[in-house]
Structure 1
Amino acid sequence: MDTCEGSPALSFMPTDSKAPQAKMTVRESCLSLIKYFLFVFNLFFFVLGSLIFCFGTWILIDKTSFMSFVGLSFMPLQTWSKVLAVSGILTMGLALLGCVGALKEMRCLLGLYFGMLLLLLATQITLGILISTQRVRLERKVKELVLQTMENYGANPMETAAEESWEYAQFQLRCCGWQSPRDWLAARTLRGSRSEEPRVPCSCYNASAANNSVVPDKLLFSQLSRLGPRARSRHTSDLCLVPADSHIYREGCAQSLQKWLHNNLIAIVGICLGIGLLELGFMTLSIFLCRNLDHIYDRLTRFR
């Protein structure tokens, strides 16, 4: 007599044992997608950081070629080149953590990557809060710095970074002085004798109002090309100056700066929000991948 025939034990035997494996495959696929997504985007930022670093190093090493490429020597290149180089190195380091951590599935690197992004995001939020809450105090400090820079204009030929930055701001914003061109009357090197008419730097010159199709080289800050190790003494006669009653910008830079911020407020806020959301997205993906690696490994060993 066959005891197995019609046995209830056999009738309740599970027939579908592949459901856990299928669920596991879907989860693996999602984690693989997240892993390669993090790798590709961090690789892009690594290349971007490399370009920023190379650009800053180029300015630092070969200022002459950079100035001839841009056409103007408009700012303290020594400072900006170092800022670009450091920014490039930080971007490369952060992106490298994300690339290696995601590709090799290393929890320690993914956790460090998450912590760095969290620190960066917290710093940005803190700066935003401080700028918004301390705006009046910040404006007062900037005004004091600008007025002090104009008062000491040309007094120290070896320390010209602040003067060059302010002249470049006037040139770009098409303004003169902080409140008005009269702020330049406080400059000791521009006062001269009582018989001489007041003068202002060439960055105040309004070439469009003068209907000049060709602006002299001096008005394009060619006098700033003697910056750096080969800087020589600047006397009042060496400065690029124009009469204050000639064709100059009559609006102060405080008003021009407010107009620029108002016109570009949406773009500035959009860029800040975009960067913040991008960082938040990378943080979420990195911590999700980091938390699920061990769980997946445990499930894989169970079905081997």
Structure 2
Amino acid sequence: MGEGGVTCVKYIMFFCNLLFALTGLLMLTIGAIVQINYIHYSNLIGDTIWTAPIVLIIVGIVVFIIGFLGCCGACKENSCMILTFAFLIIVIFLAEIGIAIAGYIKHDELRGILENQFNYTLVHYNERKDYQDTWKVAQSELSCCGINGPNDWENIYPRRNELPASCCTMINLEKSTVCDIEHAHKEGCLNKLWILLDSKTVALGAAVLAIVLIQLLTLFYAFCLFRSFRRRYETV
């Protein structure tokens, strides 16, 4: 490859590395947004699923650092740095495949995990203030009541016709001062939260797929640039 070809590949490589670094920032941002917006549901989601945004943040930081390393290698025409960069991309790519497989498995188990967490937090509702706060937020934000419906509260509240205030809205209550089954939301929170998380999972999967495609493109140009640098130095 001639001097002009090497220069062209170098600039393409730099651009791909810049995109690669930006994918790291994107992953970090997505993880942070999920962490911030859904942290109040953590008791209902469970630790095995809740680690996903944390892992996304960590991987995003690592990807950004590797992308920066690739940009430096392209600018300085350092073949050793480019090779190291390519190796790190492969490691990240394999790690992402592992995370994707684990995520797919957990996605199939998502509803069961949610159901177990819902049942556990409801049984221990009166024992922990954080469980009470979680249920209050979930029922208010999702406009739902109980796990599958208002009847789930009958063993928690001593009065049969009294429910948590978060099961009702001011419009539903009308002139009543007590939230009861008549004025409560009829749909349970389990199904609503599962639909919400399932929709976010699909969007997240599409974003990760786009990121992986950019990483593969960057890896291709990294090897092209490495070979170009090696050939140049061999002919000198």
TM-score, with length taken from structure 1:
0.57
**Counterpart amino acid of 1:244?**
D
Q: Is the 8 A contact 2:163 2:179 kept in 1?
A: yes
CA contact (8 A) 1:55 1:85 kept: no
Using the TM superposition, give the Cα deviation of residue 115 of structure 1 relative to its aligned residue in structure 2, in angstroms: 0.9
1:199-239 deviation line (CA, Å, top 9, x unaligned) = 32222122333469xxxxxxxxxxxxxxxxxxxxxxxxxxx
Structure 1 position 144 matched with structure 2 position 120: no
Within 1, Cα distance between the matches of 2:196 and 2:116?
21
Compute the displacement of 1:197 (Å).
4.8
Tell me, what secondary structure is at the counterpart of 1:208? helix
Tell whether the 8 Å contact from 1:34 to 1:289 is kept in structure 2 after alignment: yes
CA distance in 2, matches of 1:75, 1:141: 13
Q: Deviations 1:169-219 (Å, cap 9, x if unpaired)?
A: 2222211011111101122xx22xxxx45432222122333469xxxxxxx
What RMSD, in angstroms, separates the aligned Cα atoms of the two structures? 4.0
Structure 1 unmatched ranges of 5 or more: 1-22, 60-69, 213-240
TM norm structure 2: 0.71
Q: 1:26 to 1:273 in 2, by over 3 A?
A: farther
User: In 1, distance between residues paired with 2:87 and 2:61?
Assistant: 17
1:114 CA displacement: 2.7
Structure 2, gaps ≥5 residues long: 75-80
> How far has the Cα of 1:292 moved from its partner?
2.8
Match of 1:206 among 154, 159, 169: 169
AA of the residue aligned to 1:96: I
In the alignment, residue 93 of structure 1 is paired with which amino acid? V
Contact 2:21-2:66 at 8 Å conserved across structures: no
- Listed one character per residue, the Cα deviations across residues 268-294 of structure 1 (whole Å, up to 9, x for unaligned) are 5354123213223213422x2342344
Question: Of the two, which has the highest radius of gyration?
Answer: 1
- Counterpart pick for 2:202 among 246, 266, 269: 269
Moved over 6 A (4+): 49-56, 82-86
Corresponding position: 1:256 with 2:192:
yes
How far, CA to CA, are the matches of 1:92 and 1:277 in structure 2? 17
Measured in 2, the distance between the counterparts of 1:257 and 1:55 equals 17
The answer to whether the 8 A contact 2:163-2:181 is kept is no
Contact 1:98 1:110 in 2 (8 A): no
Amino acid at match of 1:127: G
Q: Verify the 8 A CA contact 2:16 2:217 in the aligned structure 1.
A: no
**Among 202, 211, 228, the residue aligned to 1:296:** 228
**More helix by percentage:** 2
State how far apart, in whole Å, the 1-side matches of 2:89 and 2:124 are.
46
Q: 1:119/1:83 Cα in 2 relative to 1: closer, same or farther (>3 Å)?
A: closer
If asked which structure has higher relative contact order (CA below 8 Å, sep 6+), I would say: 2
Q: 1:175 touches 1:251 (CA, 8 Å); kept in 2?
A: yes
